[in-house]
Amino acid sequence: MKGKEEVRQDILKVSKELFFENGYRKVTVDEIAAKLSISKKTIYKYYESKQDILISTFEDWKEKLTAEINSVLDKGDISFVEKLKTMMTLIGVGMGRMNSILVSDVQLYFPDLWIKINNYKHEAAFLRFNRLIEEGKEKGHIKKNIDKNLVVALYACAIEKLLDPNFLDNLPDDLRKSLPVYHAEIFDRTLKIIYEGILTEETIQDYNNR
């Protein structure tokens, strides 16, 4: 028989999958319960409401993504390029899986939660991304004439605006239609533009060969 914490984590895992795929409004507690083969009553033993599940899902997502990124940054036995590639994958998958439907639902119905998500994006940029850029500068992987603070600010703006459906919807039609459909691809292409602009030629070759 599963323990309470294991059941709680199962609920969060399934809820995250459903929310990230279908948005918040379309997912029901009945659907979450059915996926887990448990009763709705059991879910309410752990969470007061669907909103409570959503908030807990984001907190869990944030904690796990932060732990994974910090683990990469703390490794002293891997190269800067390996850290860069791993972080791009982690952040791209972590941020990109939030589809536009979910983001729109959160913006519309849970503005306080949306503020927290944006604050987390800024924290990720100004703390963890900044730390990686500093390491790259120290080890000679980033061009000497690059303004580190401007790069970090550019990155922060990119992850805030390019993953925001409201911002994308207000772009001119031709521009908006030319962008990738999926957030993960938008994020990946944006990071590629930033990195190719700041890395030395040798580091870019090393990165592309991995």
Domain range annotation of the chain: 55-208
Give the residue with greater pLDDT, 180 vs 32: 32
pLDDT tens digits, one per residue of 87-136: 888 887 777 677 888 999 999 999 999 999 889 888 888 888 899 999 99
pLDDT of amino acid 94 = 78
- Top pLDDT among 162 and 177 is at 177
Q: What average pLDDT score do residues 14-42 get?
A: 95
pLDDT of residue 142: 95
**Local confidence band at 14 (pLDDT 50, 70, 90 cut-offs):** very high
Cβ–Cβ under 8 Å, residues 139 and 57: no
Percent of the chain, pLDDT > 90?
Answer: 57
pLDDT, average across residues 156-179:
86
**Which class would CATH give 55-208?**
mainly alpha
For residue 163, pLDDT over 90 is answered with: no
Rounded mean pLDDT, 180-193: 80
Q: What is the pTM of this model?
A: 0.84
Is 23 strand, coil or helix?
coil
Q: How confident is the model at residue 184 (pLDDT cuts 50, 70, 90)?
A: confident
Q: Indicate the average pLDDT of the chain.
A: 90
**Mean pLDDT value of segment 143-154:** 91
Report pLDDT for 199. 94
Query: Would you call 174 exposed, middle or buried from its count of C-beta atoms within 10 A (0-12, 13-18, 19+)?
Result: exposed
Q: Is the pLDDT of residue 187 over 80?
A: no
Q: What would the two tokens of residue 175 be?
A: 């521009």
Using alpha carbons, select from 139, 121, 9 the residue that is nearest to residue 69: 121
Other Cβ atoms within 10 Å of 196 Cβ, number: 12
Q: What is the mean pLDDT of residues 127-148?
A: 92
Sign of CA dihedral 26, 30, 31, 33: positive
Query: Of 29-33, 62-66, 86-90, which gets the smallest average pLDDT?
Result: 86-90
Expressed in angstroms, the distance from the first to the final Cα of the chain is 44
